[in-house]
Amino acid sequence: MPFYNKQGLIPPKRHTVFNNPDGGIYYEELVSREGFNSICSNLYHLRMPTRVKKVDEFHLQEKIRASSAHGNKHIQTFLLKTEGDAVSGRKELFFNSDLSIYKCHCVEDMTYNYRNGHHDEVIFIQSGNGLLRSNFGDMEFGSGDYLIIPRGVIWNMVLREEVHMLITESYAAVETPPRYRNRYGQLLEHSPFCERDIRTPVLGNPTDAEGEFLVKVKLQDGTQDLIYAHDPMDVIGWDGYYFPWIFNINDFQPIVGGIHQPPPVHQTFQSAGYVICSFVSRPFDFHPDAIPAPYPHSNVDSDEILFYSHGDFMSRKGISKESITLHPMGLPHGPQPGKYEASIGVEKTEECAVMIDTFKPLHLTKTAIELQDAEYPKSWIE
């Protein structure tokens, strides 16, 4: 998120001697995007951040495309069992060359640190709460939060209860839509959210410890275990434009109109190859002849993922909390029988959903196929 932030202790000038009053100096680390040509932050450590003691196991994670007929699908992710932590408990459901989409029902704290080396992550918290600990500081999270964790951030999670989450792992940077920003990066007046809605890390005291500390580094084809000679949460200060942040879906201010508005008005994030939209409770269209239900449409350049968080979904029946529908390119979709007509005259909707539109076809995994509602493609028959 491109605005300046500063936490802890930093020297007056970058790349200069920063004396540690206990002896020696603090060590600077630049974390930057696109080489040295995009946003960056400077972190200051008790020790050099490069002190890898051992290159340990590599865990290969192949992406396997399951065979599946082309059709509209309902994936019942509420049936997933609870296991593991926020990383080990992930179940991959969909992927293409731009992103992967996971569901995770977890209850364990992470006993190690994690760093995604090749992807940005957007984690939507469906339920539960806990603490995201990172080398930039701590952030409390709860239901409805989007956790945006750029690649290169070292983090772990402490859970206070069982947490259900939807995870998007992106091969390109995750950004706010450019049409919401001025040329300086500030969110504009017509943006459905602003900087006041964004929570940033609070840096506490650094961890000063030597020993063996596991950091799991996620790569495109697996995870590399690295053993550090000190706790990497040893940051005493940082500043810059690059950091993890949190935005709650309930702070999204919906854009409404006289007639039904297309999905781009709900857009919240974007990356190369996909967008993420937030559907929240809102007044319906106010034209006297408006039909609030979405019109049937063939979005011929997108696969549409819709994650139903909670509420009353006026265009669809047979859907539960944590259902996911996939409406692939090449097929029309829209309200189910009777829902189109029944929406006429309705004044508002009480719903919460996350939509992911991809611009390349999505592949399903075996896990997604096993959770499939086989009768869903026929649900438009009266």
Predicted local confidence at residue 283, as pLDDT: 86
For the chain, list the domains and their CATH numbers. 5-69+80-248 (2.60.120.10), 249-378 (2.60.120.10)
Distance CA 70, CA 59 (A): 32
pLDDT at site 1: 60
Residue in 376, 372, 380 with CA at minimum distance from that of residue 68 = 372
SS3 243: coil
Residue 126 is encoded by which pair of tokens? 């469906």
Residue 314: the pLDDT is 66
- pLDDT at residue 284, rounded to an integer: 84
pLDDT per residue as tens digits for the range 213-231: 999 999 999 999 999 999 9
Low-confidence stretches of the chain (pLDDT beneath 50)? none
Q: What pLDDT is stored for residue 315 in this prediction?
A: 67
Residues contacting 366, CB < 8 A, separation 6+: 64, 66
Q: Rounded distance, CA 318 to CA 79, Å?
A: 15
